[in-house]
Amino acid sequence: MISIEGLKKIFTTTNNRITAVDDLTLDIAEGEIFGVIGYSGAGKSTFVRLLNRLEEPSAGKIVIDDQELTALSTNQLRVTRQEIGMIFQHFNLLWSRTVKDNIAFPLEIAGMPKRAREDRVQELIELVGLAGREDAYPSQLSGGQKQRVGIARALANRPKVLLCDEATSALDPETTNAILDLLVDINAKLGLTIILITHEMHVIRKICNQVAVMDEGKIVEQGDVLDVFLRPEQHVTKKFVEQVMGTDDDHDGVEKLINTYDSGKIIRLHFVGDTANQALITQIARSFRIDINILQGKITQMQQGAYGTLFVQMDGETDEIARAINYITDETSVEVEVVQDVE
């Protein structure tokens, strides 16, 4: 669907040259929700603006749906941009226009007849959950409602690709989750390819299938979101994963808890993937003659399933504890590590 090869953007000032995007090569599949994450200055916002040529690349090639954007004339690009929607961090709404007039604006530019335009606007209002707010002005809307207008406007010309540049950064956590749920719904209903630019790993965790990590203008790591969480290779990636899962220092409290037990085993359970059994503790307690105490842990849900770690203490007869551990190892996808034998 999207193929990017050797993409580069150099900004030249009086005193120096700044390479914002540096020889970036990437493939994004059709219908995917693809996340690009990086800290401020990593080049991610410049990258997304290159995708629709709001910024002109210094070098490289961008192909979307078999059409090379970097080879298009100005007039050809104007038409092609209708197939690439974009939403922004600060909404970029027209403050003198109502909700319905903001959504209709790109349709007016495209020359759609009034009746067809009105029908399309109403369809989009229903899609993004703004029924009843058609005649409101942006100043009368909450942040989440403004972003819903931005999403509807970006979808007006039925694009094949939706670019989201820090689309939730100005929103509170509850509203962020609502907007992310909306993007997932739109992706499922329309089969739209979504490229989501962010500096927040929990956004990637919640809705993305694939993620690319940017640093100093380059892609330094890429893969399935679950794989990147499981095996982050670069230092910058590890820092992002810590945003969601915490650091090794967070496990220090477990060592103190271990010292309060004088029998049994301390077990670390590592949950991975869509077959991770969330009811495992209950099953173990019911099936085996052992006491099981949860000490500490965190499990988070991603698009591809659960990921996280749980520390537990198992107490009882040695053979029965061994049977419980064998059951977890053999019958579930949960990985087991005996951290300490307290006996």
Fold of 2-244: Rossmann fold (3.40.50)
The per-residue pLDDT for range 97-156, each reduced to its tens digit, is: 999 999 999 999 989 999 999 999 999 999 999 999 999 999 999 999 999 999 999 999
**Tokens linked to 205:** 């965790």
**Residue among 105, 115, 231, 219 at smallest CA distance from 156:** 105
Question: Looking at residues 269-283, what average pLDDT do you find?
Answer: 71
Residue 59, SS3? Answer: strand
Please give the pLDDT value at position 101. 96
**Tokens linked to 155:** 């979808």
Residues 104, 95 contacting (CB under 8 angstroms): no
- Residue 202 CA to residue 180 CA, distance in Å, equals 11
CATH value of 249-341 in 3.30.70.600, 3.50.50.60, 3.30.70.260, 3.30.9.40: 3.30.70.260
Q: Which helix (H) or strand (E) holds 214?
A: strand 210-215
**If you count them, how many residues does the chain have?**
343
What's the chain's average pLDDT? 88
Please give the pLDDT value at position 335. 84
- What's the whole-model pTM score? 0.82
Does 249 have pLDDT greater than 80? no
Q: Which has more pLDDT, 180 or 294? A: 180
Does 342 have pLDDT greater than 90? no
Q: Could you state, in order of their start, the residue ranges of all structural domains in the chain?
A: 2-244, 249-341
Q: How far apart are the first and last CA of the chain?
A: 58
